[in-house]
Amino acid sequence: MAASLANETNAAGLRHDERVEKLKLFGLSAPALLIVFVVLVIPVGWLFYLSFLGADGTFSLENYTRMIDRKSYRRIFEMTFEVSVLTTALTILIGYPMAYFLAQLPNRLASVFMIAVLLPFWTSLLVRTYAWLVLLQKQGLINQWAIALGFWDEPIKMVHDLNGTLIGMVHIMLPFLILPTYGAMKSIDRDLMKAASNLGASPKHAFWTVFFPLTIPGLFAGALMVFILCLGFYVTPAVLGGGKVIMVSMKIVSNIEMFVNWGAASALGVVLLIMTMIILWIASKFLNLDRIAGGGH
């Protein structure tokens, strides 16, 4: 009797100690959480508040109604979606075969090619955008070669418009798609394909019914990441778009730099953030979001 009572007290004490220890351990994440809180959560919360202030400093929805009423604002949202959808689609069309190619290579060779994929991933965004500016301009290399090879006669304009922006953005986004897709492809048991052909499936049939469905989670995660990054993209459209491609992020910047209109800029930012969150939320219904974060917790 006395012994079991002591055991229970001990057990309760141990449970308490364990809780305290876990909380203490969790406390180690405090510095990181604090920094994120001060530099991200508070400022974004503040912008949220500003977005509901009108020009006269009182509560108003004018920053939001403006987005609905004005055609120019609607056009910007349409443009942002258009660029994001096109970039994502093109990235899938180019990236999926590339990932497939990488997955077929023997490991040693694959890691060499992987470096070729990762190097641009690590290279400055600005440098890559600049390279496209140089390549695509009228006297640029692509025009020179195309004329020399007889594809077209006159230098054509490929930059400072939508096409230039798309080319630059697809190039920048490719690694984000290739890495998760490649990961999914690598984790497929090769015997499955052999089994499929053993059962009489043509290579094409086996690919579409066995291989492709198994790569969808990776592909989807990559495409989602690309789409979300596109929605908020600034640098590449600003440099390669030549003023013809105006995305939400660029309108936010010009609202502040040119018009010093914090309310309008904040409201745009809030809408952009909410769109991103809705997309993530919908996506989370279909797949485990941890995949995007490289398999977190």
* Region 81-110 residues binding another protein, contact defined as CB under 8 A: none
Q: Residue 240: count other Cβ atoms within 10 Å of its Cβ.
A: 26
* Ordered DSSP codes for 8-27: HHHHHHHHHHHHHHHHHHHH
List the x/- string, 27-56, binding to another protein by CB under 8 A: xxx-xxx-xxxxxxxxxx-xx--x------
Q: Point out which residues pair with 53 in neighbouring strands.
A: 59
Q: Which is nearer to another protein, 11 or 134 (CB)?
A: 134
Kindly state the tokens that stand for 155. Answer: 């230098």
Cα–Cα distance for residue pair 190/182, rounded to 1 Å? 14
Nearer to another protein among residue 81 and residue 130 (C-beta): 130
Which of these segments, 4-12, 135-143, 149-157, 196-204, binds another protein (CB under 8 A)? 135-143
Q: What Rg value do the Cα atoms of the chain yield, rounded?
A: 26
Please report how close the Cβ of residue 225 comes to another protein at its closest, in angstroms: 9
Among 1, 2, 3, 25, binds another protein (CB under 8 A): 25
Residue 288 Cβ vs another protein, minimum distance, rounded to whole Å: 13
282 binds another protein (CB under 8 A): no
**Calpha distance 236→233 (Å, rounded):** 7
Residue 268, token pair as written in the block = 């745009």
Q: Specify the amino acid at residue 207.
A: F
| Residue 5 Cβ vs another protein, minimum distance, rounded to whole Å | 28
Scanning 5-13, 20-28, 55-63, 66-74 for contacts with another protein by CB under 8 A, the matching segment is 20-28
What residues numbered 234-253 form the site for another protein, per CB under 8 A? Answer: 234-235, 238-239, 249, 252-253
Residue type, 162: L
Figure out which of the listed residues 11, 119, 195, 282 binds another protein, where binding follows CB under 8 A. Answer: 119
Q: Is 275 left (phi over 0), alpha (psi -120 to 50) or beta?
A: alpha
Which one of 51, 88, 91, 129 is in contact with another protein (CB under 8 A)? 129
Which whole-number Å values give the CA distances from 92 to 128, 200, 231, in the listed order? 20, 29, 16
Amino acid at 270: V
**C-beta of 106 vs 200, nearer to another protein:** 106
- Closer CB to another protein, residue 145 or residue 208? 145
Strand partners of residue 59 = 53
**Look-up: residue for tokens 């052999």?**
194
Question: How many residues at the interface with another protein, by CB under 8 A?
Answer: 77
Q: How far is the CB of 187 from another protein (least distance, A)?
A: 13
Binders in 168-227 for another protein, by CB under 8 A = 171, 179-180, 183
